[in-house]
Each structure stands twice: as C-alpha cells, then as structure tokens.
Amino acid sequence: MIHIENQLSDEFKGWYIGKVKTSSFKVFACLLFCLSYIYSVKQGKQISPKEVDKIFTVNGVYNGDLIDSVKACKVLGLEYFGKETDINKPPAWYPSIKEVDFSAAPGKTQHFVVRTKVNGKNVILDPYGGVERAINYYEKKTGNTDWLKGGFSYRLIK
C-alpha cells in the first residue's frame, strides 16, 4: 500500500535536499515528499523520497534547496499546470498537491501536503508526521478558512 512518508522519521535523519547540506529532509523536504507520493501512485509502488531526491539531483531539478516544479514533473513523467489560489477551484483529480500556510509552526511559513480522497472523503496526507488530516486542517489552524489572507494554493500536478 502506498503511503505518505514521514519526513520526521529517523529513517531520513542525516538526509539533505540535493547537495545543500543545511536543508534537511526534516525541515525543508515536504514538497519532495509530496512529489514522491504522487510519483509512487503513478508507478503503482512505494518510492522513497531518497530515490526521488537522487533523481532530482542528477537531473538538475534543484535550485539550491528549491524544487523547480516544471523540471521535477518532467523528470517524473508528470504534468505541471501551475497553481490555483482560489479555494473554490480545486483540481478535479486526485492526488494533487496543496500548499498550506504553516505559520503556526515556529520559523515556518510554507508547507506542502497531498490532497486526496480516502474512503470517499477529501483529506490531506501530511508529510510532517506522515499523517492523514482533515482537508481544511491548516485553514482552521491559521484562521484563514476562505484563503483571503493568502498562503494557500493548489499545485496543479497530474
């Protein structure tokens, strides 16, 4: 069964994004973990973020510790259509990536989660802990249920 990996797991201790030895998986790799999940779904088997990190490093996907979404999707055989900041225009497909406001966590602002359906219910799979959460978990946590304050988007990746 394919699952979201937990970026806080000891399995990833000492792993860093690409060649940037100050950007640990624990703190900076949520988008990598989300892309790894979607790639795993596409391949029909669990593929570790470590493997995807290697693919990205070899193919020049990183700009420092930032992922170039267009390049990332291209090397994984996915399509990137940009982002949507209107809460009322979610992608019509699952899984997809949702950018959330992570300001409730000390020193963080941006975070990525997987938006999907589990047992017919919209949920997010959060790599920060490797857990399933309510679809609007971060909107409620930040008091931004209508996205008017910004910090949220749907990443249109298929």
| 3 domain-assigned | no
Q: Across residues 77-98, what is the average pLDDT?
A: 96
CB 85 within 8 A of CB 152: yes
Give residue 106's pLDDT: 56
**CATH number, residue 135:** 3.90.70.10
Q: How far apart are CA 37 and CA 147, in angstroms?
A: 25
| 67 domain-assigned | yes
| 70 domain-assigned | yes
| 87 domain-assigned | yes
| 117 domain-assigned | yes
Q: How far apart are CA 154 and CA 157, in angstroms?
A: 9
Instruction: Tell me the pairing of strands 80-84 and 96-101.
Output: unpaired
Residue found under tokens 């399933």:
132
Which residues, 6 or more positions from 59, have their beta carbon under 8 angstroms from its beta carbon? 71, 75
| 124 domain-assigned | yes
Tell me the pLDDT of the chain averaged across its residues. 93
Predicted model pTM: 0.94
Q: How far apart are CA 128 and CA 34, in angstroms?
A: 10
| 5 domain-assigned | no
Cis peptide bond upstream of 91, omega within 30: no
Q: Where does the pLDDT of residue 107 fall: very low under 50, low under 70, confident under 90, or very high at 90 and above?
A: low
Own/partner pairs, 63-66, CB within 8 angstroms, 24+ separation: 64/18, 64/20, 64/23, 65/17, 65/18, 65/20, 65/22, 65/23, 65/28
Domain total of the chain: 1
| 4 domain-assigned | no
Range(s) of the domain holding residue 38: 10-157
User: Over 90: is that where the pLDDT of 67 sits?
Assistant: yes
